[in-house]
């Protein structure tokens, strides 16, 4: 269809969608909906509810929340009345909602919706001005690390349900540990955030470059930078935690001590939840956003991470295997969804102080994760295409095409086809028939095949007189005993169709196709 | 929660959503999603696909499509680059998409999404600036009246699935019949559209007032108006069609003749589709929009139609039974969704010439319907509240709450609760547990009850030693043999839970609750 998409002059104006936006249609739409459905099912399994906020907010609600990126906010024209802006993410509207609803002291909420950024679009890289975000957040005061552990469990359930098992890694770290490390190494307090940002680039720059930025651009004492280097290149699991816990200089720092305690508790819970084998405790993970206050995490998968520099080993080898070598410039590797971070498919952490920005009431601690659903879609689609499962995705869900044939004097059997279709619809079966009074049999087969419909009910005048119809599975190989279909009693048609359709769909679940793309 | 919703000053600015918008949350969200799901299922049963277009379009795409109402279009601010506007409906983006994709010559598409109108909001009447529309359209060239008949069949499947069977009526008419009537009665060609608009008000104004508008405001000859009156107050079914077909003056008019032929064919098809008993052939139905070219229809239900004037009898008595008397002013009865017309819950018709407005290519004939989903939601919710089924709607979908109890020295059994929850999640069962290390039993029960969770798995140290857990259905009456729960083998827990949860959910389907509101 791509070739039809050139911008056309029609009716005297340009026929196109606005720059950085797109129409979702066809198989992309089917695959995307399936991914959203899979994710939503997991959220619901854990008791989450959804909230649907307006696509625009009062301008002042968004003001001052995004720093330099505020220039990317879309404003509505001033047509009289309130000044509004399109939402830039789903976090600020959620915090606004929490602040407005003071009776809500705890909630697990998910939200899958479009957000808007007036950025320079780069369609080929998937950087859009209108794109989907998918956020899950837990707000409320609970015993330490329990909601945090459940979010990571949910994350594994989602990627496993998408069929990514064995092909993704959850990088994890803790802001308090990082802050402790910076303090112990001797970073001046006022430089902690900027040094943290530099560390966060270790997933796409070698340590030598990050060190140069720290010392030359940010004026850090080279000795301090070298001390930091000893920590932030560390990766592992419970072994690394034990190593850090044994470091008395580090544990003498209150912040680090608290962070390490959190981490020990979290790893304990993650073991019970069978999540630890997906975890890489990665001291280079710092996350760009300022508002995190506790555990932080990022999910990487094959093809999602930019090529790593030689001395910044990947968190998990498998996740790096096929990633293509490309220029590791910040702009070039820019995520389509900056909220999930460069090269990741999901990211988040604990932010205990954000809601207070909107609220006179006391803080509500929060922990959340944002799934980069557009990137997850792109990776899934690419894998399906590589593994030839995309072709099997049906454009619509019709299971039965009702058709008719006859010899000389054939009337088309339209009333009979309509009545059979009605009977199938009444039984909840997805069915259609040709909207022609006298369709030719090959035309009807072609229509069914184009739609990928798996079954045909074929009506013939003689068979109908005997109270029979024929059911035929499409595309059976030559020589199959049912290749030409099977005659069944019309009175038993619904049961016969249901049995076959259920069996067929169980064996050809599109969820498996979406998932299968990455399993073997 | 309403009382928490006052606009608050927080962080120095007003905490509110923009005028005419709202947050969807809580039970409203659950009921709304259920309604959308019910509608979508029917669309898919008939082979429809969905297309997701951007929330804003180039300004020039919308320009000149909405007449006077163009002033209600939301523009984006000019921040450099293209000038864009928020979509005003889903029809123009669909026509734009068809025109852009010239390889698509036929499609059945649905689209449920928000649209934007900078109108004076009236929240109490449900008139919003951001609201949902739900459109279903069939584009393509087919044999006459077959897609039209299927759209009406889909409409009945949707309202029946919502539990409205017996409580709604589909008013139907044909633009060509109307045009023929106006011609035979002697309406000058240049007055046909304005006289048609006057006729369309018969659902909320008496004939005397409509006649006055025709003659006094629009300068129609009173004798012509009286002739029109003889036709447009006619209502019926196949009897009315026979009566009109017998009117030789009318059938001598080419337009009327063609319209009556269409209608005869349509009624034939609707009989096969078991739809005729929902149909009221209503000569007063004219529909406001200019672009209809064939059959037009509107669905009314109890509570959706404004009080009728004394001499404009309701199309179906049942649909009028409980409608409240209110001032029948055009503004007062203004629909929350003007696309479905005043007092209706769905409306549409055939429009064979709209796509050509966007396209150099040949016309694509279309027929469609728009469901007033916000109004359907309001009516459903009001019915559920009246019939006390709303209380039974669960806020989330959790089926099992995992809890623990113990005597002196009780540890909280947190690892055991986590492990049981994990086992349930792995089996796809929706479960949660208290995020407290040592929760008290009453607290755990309260949390489960607040969420309306139907089952509890209760862990006790002694029972666990015996390899057993207790399963308890919440809210069983005093004296019920299983009131205190049943001990089951832990190794068999998943099967035992699944059986009970499936039985419970089959008996308490929320779809039935949403539907039950009108069946009883």
Give SS3 for B321: coil
- Could you tell me the CA-to-CA distances from A250 to A195, A227, A254 in Å, in that order? 18, 12, 9
What is the pLDDT confidence band of residue A52, given thresholds at 50, 70 and 90?
very high
| Cβ partners under 8 Å of residue A363, min gap 6 | A352, A353, A355, A356
User: Tell me: the pLDDT tens digits for B460-479?
Assistant: 999 999 999 999 999 899 99
Residues ≥6 apart with Cβ < 8 Å to A70: A62, A63, A64
Q: Quick check: A337 pLDDT over 70?
A: no
With the CA atoms of B376, A130, A296 and A375 taken in that order, what torsion angle do they form, in degrees rounded to the nearest 10? 100
Distance (Å) from the alpha carbon of B50 to chain A's nearest alpha carbon: 7
Q: Check the annotation: does A91 bind a ligand.
A: yes
Q: Is the pLDDT of residue A215 over 60?
A: yes
Q: Please tell me which of the candidates B10, B75, B415 has its beta carbon nearest to residue A79.
A: B75
For A364, residues 6+ apart whose C-beta sits below 8 A from its C-beta are: A98, A105, A106, A139, A140, A141, A355
- Single out the residue of B496, B474, B484 nearest to residue B420, CA to CA: B496
DSSP-derived 3-state class of residue A268: helix
Q: How many other C-beta atoms can be found within 10 angstroms of the C-beta atom of residue A407?
A: 8
How high is the pLDDT of residue B476?
92
Residue ranges of domains in chain B: 26-309+338-387, 400-517
Q: Do domains A26-309+338-387 and A400-517 have the same CATH topology?
A: no
**Alpha-carbon gap: A220 to the closest alpha carbon of chain B (Å):** 35
**Is residue A271 less than 8 Å (CB to CB) from chain B?**
no
Contacts of B144 (CB under 8 A, 6+ apart): B262, B265
Two structure tokens written together for B357: 């407005």
Beta-bridged to residue B172, according to DSSP, are: B281, B297
Q: Is A285 helix (H, G, I), strand (E, B) or coil?
A: coil
- Contact between residue A54 and residue B115 where contact means Cβ atoms under 8 Å apart: no
Residue range A82-95: average pLDDT? 94
List, for residues B248-271, the tens digit of each pLDDT value.
999 999 999 999 999 999 999 999
Task: Using the predicted structure, report yes or no on whether residue B378 has a pLDDT greater than 50.
Answer: yes
Q: How far is CA B167 from the centre of its chain?
A: 15
Of B140, B131, B153, B141, the residue nearest B109 (C-alpha): B140
Tokens 């909602």, located at residue: A97
Residue A512 confidence (pLDDT): 62
Cα A467 → chain centroid: 50
Averaged pLDDT for residues B278-293: 88
Quote the CA–CA distance of A5 and A16 in Å, as a whole number. Answer: 8
Taking CB atoms and an 8 Å limit, are B358 and A418 in contact across chains? no
Inter-helix orientation angle A254-272/B414-426, to 10°: 50
Q: Are A102 and B4 in contact (CB under 8 A)?
A: yes
Band (B304; pLDDT cuts 50, 70, 90): low
Cβ contact B76–A75 (<8 Å) = yes
B450 touches chain A (CB under 8 A): no
Find, in chain B, the residue whose alpha carbon is nearest to that of A268: B415
- The pLDDT score that the predictor gives to residue A148 is 98
- What is the CATH number that goes with domain A400-517? 3.40.50.800
Whether residue A443 lies within 8 A of chain B, CB to CB, comes out as no
Q: What share of chain A has pLDDT > 90, as a percent? A: 69
Closest CA of chain A from B410, distance in Å: 17
In A, which residues are within 8 Å of B396 by CB distance? 44, 47-49, 108
Residue A54 has pLDDT above 70, yes or no: yes
Q: Which of residues 138-167 of A touch B (CB under 8 A)?
A: 142-143, 146-147, 150, 153, 157
Give the confidence band of B390 by pLDDT, cuts at 50, 70, 90: confident
**DSSP conformation letters of B376-445:** HHHHHHHHHHHTT-GGG--SS---EEEEEE-STT----HHHHHHHHHHHHHTT--EEE-S-SS--HHHHH
Among A136, A158, A164, CA closest to A41: A158
- Which of A:373-402 have CB within 8 Å of B? 395-398
Of A82, A114, A398, nearest to B47 by CB-CB distance is A398
Q: Would you state the pLDDT for residue B124?
A: 66
User: Is the CB of A51 less than 8 angstroms away from the CB of B25?
Assistant: yes
**Residue B152, pLDDT above cutoff 60:** yes
Tokens coding A365: 């601690």
- Cα B78 → chain centroid: 35
A53 in contact with chain B, both atoms CB, cutoff 8 A: yes
Q: How many helices and strands (H and E) does chain A possess?
A: 17, 18
**Among A5, A103, A437, whose Cβ lies nearest the Cβ of B143?**
A437
Average of per-residue pLDDT across B330-345: 48
Contact A45 B102 (CB under 8 A): no
Q: Is the CB of residue A410 less than 8 Å away from at least one CB of chain B?
A: no
Query: Are B126 and B336 in contact, with CB atoms under 8 Å apart?
Result: yes
Nearest partner of B505 among B397, B433, B431, judged by Cα: B397
- Residue A162 confidence (pLDDT) above 70: yes
Q: Which of A272-286, A356-370, B313-327 has the lowest mean pLDDT?
A: B313-327
The β-bridge partners of A236 are A281
Determine contact, residues B407/B480, Cβ cutoff 8 Å.
no
- Flag if B58 and A13 touch (Cβ within 8 Å): yes
Residues facing residue B137 across a β-bridge: B109, B368
| ipTM, 2 dp | 0.88
Would you give the distance in Å from CA B47 to the centre of its chain?
19
Cα A291 to chain center, whole Å? 22
- Taking an 8 Å cut-off on Cβ atoms, the answer to whether A61 and B13 are in contact is yes
Distance from chain centroid for Cα A181? 33
- The beta-carbon neighbor of A430 closest among B9, B45, B49 is B45
The percent helix, strand, coil of chain A (3-state, each to 5) is 45, 20, 40
Q: What are the tens digits of pLDDT across the range B402-423?
A: 999 998 889 999 999 999 999 9
Does B409 contact chain A (CB < 8 Å)?
no
B32 → chain A, closest CA residue = A52
Kindly state the percentage of chain B with pLDDT values over 70.
Answer: 86
Cβ of residue A425 closer than 8 Å to a chain B Cβ: yes
Cβ neighbours of A9 in B, within 8 Å: 360
Per-position DSSP letters for A445-511, written without gaps between them: HHHHHHTT--EEEEEEHHHHHTTEEEEEETTPPTT-TTTT-EEEEGGGHHHHHHHHHHHHHHHT-HH
Contacts of A422 in chain B (CB under 8 A): 153, 272-274
- Report phi then psi at A98, rounded to 5: -60, -45
| B485 pLDDT above the threshold of 90 | yes
Question: Is residue B328 predicted with pLDDT exceeding 50?
Answer: no
A428 touching B (Cβ < 8 Å): yes
A506 touches chain B (CB under 8 A): no
DSSP secondary structure of A347-386: EEEEESSSGGGT-SSPP--EEEEEE-HHHHHHHHHHHHHH
The per-residue pLDDT of chain B, averaged, comes to 87
- B67 burial level (CB within 10 Å; 0-12, 13-18, 19+): exposed
**Whose CA is closest to A412, among A444, A368, A373, A447?**
A444
How far B374 CA lies from chain A's nearest CA (Å)? 14
State the residue for tokens 């979908």: B397
**pLDDT per residue over A436-454, tens digit each?**
999 999 999 999 998 899 9
How far is C-alpha B11 from the geometric centre of its chain's CA atoms?
A: 38
Cα–Cα distance measured from residue A79 to residue B59, given in angstroms and rounded to the nearest whole number: 15
Put simply, the answer to whether A435 touches B143 (Cβ < 8 Å) is yes
Residue among A12, A17, A412 with most chain B CBs within 10 A, to mutate? A17
Q: Is A424 annotated to bind ligand?
A: no
> In the β-sheet with B486-489, what is the strand arrangement from edge to edge?
B431-433, B400-405, B455-460, B468-473, B486-489
**Please, which pLDDT band fits residue A359 given cuts at 50, 70 and 90?**
low
Looking at CATH, the fold of the domain delimited by B26-309+338-387 is given as BirA Bifunctional Protein; domain 2 (3.30.930)
- Per the DSSP assignment, residues forming a β-bridge with B9 are B14
Q: Could you tell me which residues come within 8 angstroms of residue A220 by beta carbon, excluding any fewer than 6 positions away?
A: A187, A191, A195, A214
Q: Is A142 annotated as a binding residue?
A: no
Select from B239, B205, B351 the least CA-distant residue to B289.
Answer: B351
The answer to whether residue B317 scores a pLDDT higher than 60 is no
Do B360 and A9 make contact, defined as CB atoms within 8 angstroms? Answer: yes
């Amino acid at each position: 269809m791509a070739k039809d998409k050139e911008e056309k002059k029609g009716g005297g104006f340009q026929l196109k969608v606005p720059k950085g936006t797109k129409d979702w249609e066809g198989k992309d739409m089917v695959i995307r909906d399936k991914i959203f459905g899979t994710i939503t099912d997991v959220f619901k399994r854990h008791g989450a509810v959804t909230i649907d906020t307006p696509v625009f907010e009062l301008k002042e609600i968004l003001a001052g929340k995004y720093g330099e990126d505020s220039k990317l906010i879309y404003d509505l024209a001033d047509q009289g009345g309130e000044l509004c802006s399109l939402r830039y993410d789903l976090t600020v509207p959620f915090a606004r909602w929490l602040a407005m609803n003071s009776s809500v002291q705890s909630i697990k909420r998910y939200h899958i919706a479009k957000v808007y950024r007036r950025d320079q679009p780069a369609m080929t890289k998937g950087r859009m001005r209108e794109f989907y975000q998918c956020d899950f957040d837990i707000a409320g005061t609970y015993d330490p690390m329990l909601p945090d552990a459940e979010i990571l469990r949910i994350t594994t359930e989602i990627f496993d349900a998408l069929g990514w098992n064995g092909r993704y890694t959850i990088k994890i770290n803790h802001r308090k540990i990082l802050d402790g490390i910076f303090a112990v190494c001797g970073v001046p307090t006022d430089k902690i955030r900027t040094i943290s940002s530099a560390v966060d680039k270790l997933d796409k720059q070698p340590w030598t470059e990050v060190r140069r930025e720290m010392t030359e651009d940010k004026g850090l004492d080279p000795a301090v930078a070298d001390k930091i280097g000893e920590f932030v290149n560390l990766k592992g699991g419970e072994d690394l935690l034990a190593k850090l816990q044994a470091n008395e200089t580090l544990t003498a720092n209150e912040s680090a001590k608290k962070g390490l305690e959190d981490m020990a508790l979290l790893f304990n819970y993650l073991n019970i939840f069978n999540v630890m084998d997906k975890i890489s405790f990665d001291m280079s993970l710092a996350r760009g956003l300022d508002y995190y206050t506790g555990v932080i995490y990022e999910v990487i998968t094959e093809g999602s991470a930019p090529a790593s520099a030689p001395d910044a080993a990947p968190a998990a080898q498998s996740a790096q295997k096929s990633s293509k070598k490309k220029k590791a410039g910040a702009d070039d590797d820019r995520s389509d969804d900056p909220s999930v971070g460069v090269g990741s498919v999901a990211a988040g952490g604990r932010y205990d102080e954000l809601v207070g920005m909107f609220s006179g009431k006391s803080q509500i601690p929060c922990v959340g994760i944002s799934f980069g659903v557009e990137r997850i879609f792109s990776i899934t689609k690419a894998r399906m295409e590589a593994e030839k499962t995309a072709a099997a995705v049906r454009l619509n869900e019709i299971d039965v095409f009702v058709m008719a044939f006859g010899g000389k004097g054939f009337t088309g059997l339209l009333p009979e086809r309509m009545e059979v279709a009605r009977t199938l619809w009444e039984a909840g079966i997805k069915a259609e028939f040709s909207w022609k009074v006298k369709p030719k049999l090959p035309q009807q087969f072609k229509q069914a095949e184009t739609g990928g419909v798996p079954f045909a009910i074929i009506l013939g005048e003689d068979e109908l007189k005997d109270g029979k119809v024929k059911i035929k599975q499409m595309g059976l190989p030559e020589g199959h005993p049912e290749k030409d279909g099977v005659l069944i009693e019309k009175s038993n048609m619904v049961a016969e169709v249901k049995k076959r359709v259920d069996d067929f769909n169980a064996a050809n679940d599109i969820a498996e196709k979406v998932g299968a793309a990455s399993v073997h």
